[in-house]
Structure 1
Amino acid sequence: MRADARRNREQILRAAREVFVGEGPDAPLDEIARRAGVGIATLYRRFPQRADLFRGVANEVLTALTDAAREALAAEGDPVEALRRFMHRALDLKIGSVMPSLLGRVSLDEILDGAGGDAVDPIDELLLRAQAAGQIRPDVVFGDITMMIMRLSRPLPGGGQFPDDDALAHRHLDVYVDGLRPSGSPRPTTMLSGPAVDAPAFKRLRERVLDDARADD
């Protein structure tokens, strides 16, 4: 594939992922092409059927997830920080929003067959390595890592009411990872990123949501 064709494909898949998260898998393809910065004809050349686009997005997300886990596993240094970096990268893939929306539109077998490997083993190895170093409590298991990524990668209710949703999810992920440390471990020194939604900020956000709900009635 030529460099420009590969770039178009990547842009289409990235845009489709964002649109599917925000508007669902039945969103207009014109909107995906617009966000990708390509013409609708280019989109159809790459993905003649909507099902082809579904498979492409699902395969790209799982392949990127596997690559991120393998890269974190190969990295030198603190095993907890390697796990943290992987989880932040996985969060950006919005897997908890993308994959549920596509299941039923494309089979799990098709998704797994088209992905570049299986992420389960490298993710589990990241966890086991951190536990072997005494930096993660021993009762934490694989699902505690992956299920939290899926929960945090789902948008907050209210759609676009909170534009800092992604940044807030990364903040909460850092809180969660620090909470995985065993009893008696040194106090975490992670600097929390993202917006700090204190009580006044929460009240303002709540009022905004209520105002919009009243306007729709």
Structure 2
Amino acid sequence: MTTSQSGGRKAEAARNDLTVLNAAREVFFEQGYDAPMSAIAERAGVGMGSLYRRYRSKEELARCLCVLSMKGTNESAERALAEESSGWSALVRFMAESIDRGVGMVAQFAGEFPVTPEMVALSERGAAAMQAILDRATAEGSVRPDITAGDLVYLLQILRTNSAPTPTRVTTLRTRYLTLLLDGLRPHPTPTPLPGPAPTWPEISTRWTQTP
């Protein structure tokens, strides 16, 4: 086999794997974690044998989606922090990119399988990056001071609405509500106190502990 043939097969395998992951993301979002692997295979246009050669179980596939989502979230937060001129612009960019990437979908996997050390490390890295954005925005006075990284996680989940007749309308509504939400994060002369304590990162991470 020539080098070009080997490279071509690797590229094709990568494209096929991306197709499976995109299909799984859509199916899980629409049907939840209980969605059968057959639905994912059908959406991806692959056979069950091909799907199971890539992922030995639904748990393995879902965990892969979680890891990819967490890595993307972390990179997005860190890029925004490094490239934007203000904490507020970094926050707006991070939130908008997160919505576009579908952050929040993997929350439905919480409790379905045990976390791995890699997921724990990614979670801690994400918490630090999001809090750094908020710290900068708070220091410059552009965001109310009682918001935490944990709040951002739950807010992104809330914005994952799918209750619209068309994908275009879903996108429009998410953008609309993100704009409304961001306005609510701004400091006000007489802000309404937020009821209850903010979610802590340990509180968020323990959701992933597998139930007995």
TM-score w.r.t. length of structure 2: 0.72
- Residue 143 of structure 1 corresponds to which residue in structure 2? 150
RMSD of aligned Cα (Å): 2.6
Q: How far did residue 16 of structure 1 move?
A: 0.7
Query: Residue 69 of structure 1: CA displacement?
Result: 1.1
Residue of structure 1 aligned with 2:57, choices 28, 44, 49 = 49
Does residue 14 of structure 1 match 2:19?
no
| Residue matched to 1:131 | 138
The alpha-carbon distance between structure 1 residues 45 and 115, as it changes in their structure 2 partners (threshold 3 A), is farther
CA distance in 1, matches of 2:73, 2:46: 26
* Aligned-residue offset at 1:9: 2.0
Contact in 1 for aligned 2:73/2:98 (Cα 8 Å):
yes
Shifted more, 166-175 versus 88-97: the winner is 88-97
Q: Is the 8 A contact 1:63 1:117 kept in 2?
A: no
How far off is 1:34 after superposition? 3.7
Measure how far apart 1:37 and its partner are: 4.5
Q: Deviation per CA, 1:85-123: give whole Å up to 9, x if none.
A: 1112222343433222x2232213467158587210001
The SS at the match of 1:125 is: helix
> Which ranges of structure 1 fall in alignment gaps of 5 or more residues?
185-217
Change (3 A) 1:33 1:142: same
Deviation at 1:3, TM superposition (A): 2.6
| Aligned counterparts of 2:171 and 2:43: Cα–Cα separation in 1 | 19
Contact 1:58 1:111 in 2 (8 A): no
Give the gaps of 5 or more residues in structure 2: 1-6, 190-212
Point out the more displaced range, 175-184 or 64-73. 175-184
Residue correspondence of structure 1 range 37-186 to structure 2 within 5 A: 37-100=45-108, 102-109=109-116, 112-113=119-120, 115=122, 118-156=125-163, 161=165, 163=167, 164-183=169-188
Give distance in 1, aligned partners of 2:27 and 2:14: 20
Report if the CA contact (8 A) 2:107-2:157 is conserved.
no
Amino acid at match of 1:63: K
Offset of residue 138 of structure 1: 2.3
Higher relative contact order (CA 8 A, sep 6+): 2
Q: Deviations over 1:7-36 (max 9, x none)?
A: 322222222111101012232333323433
Instruction: Output the CA distance in 2 between the equivalents of 1:40 and 1:116.
Output: 32
Q: Name the CA distance, whole Å, in 2 between partners of 1:33 and 1:9.
A: 11
Count, aligned residues: 180
In structure 2, distance between residues paired with 1:23 and 1:139: 35
Q: CA deviation at 1:177?
A: 0.9
Q: Distance in 1 between matches of 2:182 and 2:151?
A: 10
